[in-house]
Structure 1
């Protein structure tokens, strides 16, 4: 419980989710390219594999990343939580772990979001950070993509 209480403020300072997209498909930016300073988001079908290596032969898909983040954070919410996986935002990060996953949700009548950074493999995912929080801003999302930390410790 103490770890969860420490993780939420750290993530809240690091990542703030922008207003949820009104589209029904999730978005994912392509894998960062060395010549491109910032990845851009583009709508994709959630069953497409994500770019990046997978040691176990399987690749993360938007659906798998979204499901992993929801399951990792479900216990952080009250029992009335409703997730919106079709509106999930998946971003390739410039640092490890390579995926930022933001899943909009609603709990206790308030907008919220599950936020996770995921690496590893499909069969053995690694979560560097995970939280249930208020939706982050575009700048906080960009900072999370870039690996910028807003805390000391």
Structure 2
């Protein structure tokens, strides 16, 4: 018998697969074509330059901000690639928070796990992608839209390259 957490992770993975499947294969760019850009209006990224303060900013969990260099990619580039790949799977009222994107280096290829928080139909949502390659030729591994953020256990599985398509 599975634990309630295991059932929830399995249900979340199934929802991700179903939502991702509903968006069709057209959302996945081929490795030889350029990455499309979104024409939907989304909030712009928050400036990465802030005034110095005497206290360091509080972070609720270990995360990497989208600013910085991720194998040649800028964090904002990875976030935008993920938004573009998953936009059609979300309701029309989706609003992404690119400035709060979580990017984790994976132990497998594609190298980067990108989690872009969003609000959709009044719910906390999340775009989830694995991206590798280079800025001139990005490679999109997984792309899915979820109407709830992934549990930390599933994020750790994705970092290790496990259960990318649900329970196997």
TM-score category, normalised to shorter length: 0.5 to 0.7
Is residue 151 from structure 1 mapped to residue 167 from structure 2 by the alignment? yes
Which residue of 2 is the match for residue 139 of structure 1? 153
Which residue of 2 is the match for residue 85 of structure 1? 98
Within-5 A mapping of 1:4-153: 8-9=16-17, 41-44=62-65, 46-50=66-70, 52=71, 59-133=72-146, 134-149=148-163, 150-152=166-168
* Per-residue Cα deviation, 1:63-111 (whole angstroms, up to 9, x for no partner): 1101110111111111110001111100000011000000001111111
Q: Does the CA-based 8 Å contact 2:63-2:103 persist in structure 1? A: no
How does the TM-score come out when normalised to structure 1?
0.66
Q: 1:11 to 1:140 in 2, by over 3 A?
A: farther
- Paired with 1:88 and 1:105, the residues of 2 have a C-alpha distance of 10
Any stretches of 5+ residues in structure 1 without a counterpart? Answer: 1-5, 13-23, 27-39, 53-58
Query: Which contiguous aligned blocks of 4+ residues in structure 1 show a shift greater than 4 angstroms?
Result: none
Answer with 1 or 2: which has the greater Rg. 2
How does the TM-score come out when normalised to structure 2?
0.60
- Paired with 2:47 and 2:158, the residues of 1 have a C-alpha distance of 22
Q: 1:25 to 1:144 in 2, by over 3 A?
A: farther
Aligned length: 115
Question: Root-mean-square deviation (CA), in Å?
Answer: 2.7
- Paired with 1:93 and 1:127, the residues of 2 have a C-alpha distance of 14
Any stretches of 5+ residues in structure 2 without a counterpart? Answer: 1-13, 21-45, 49-60
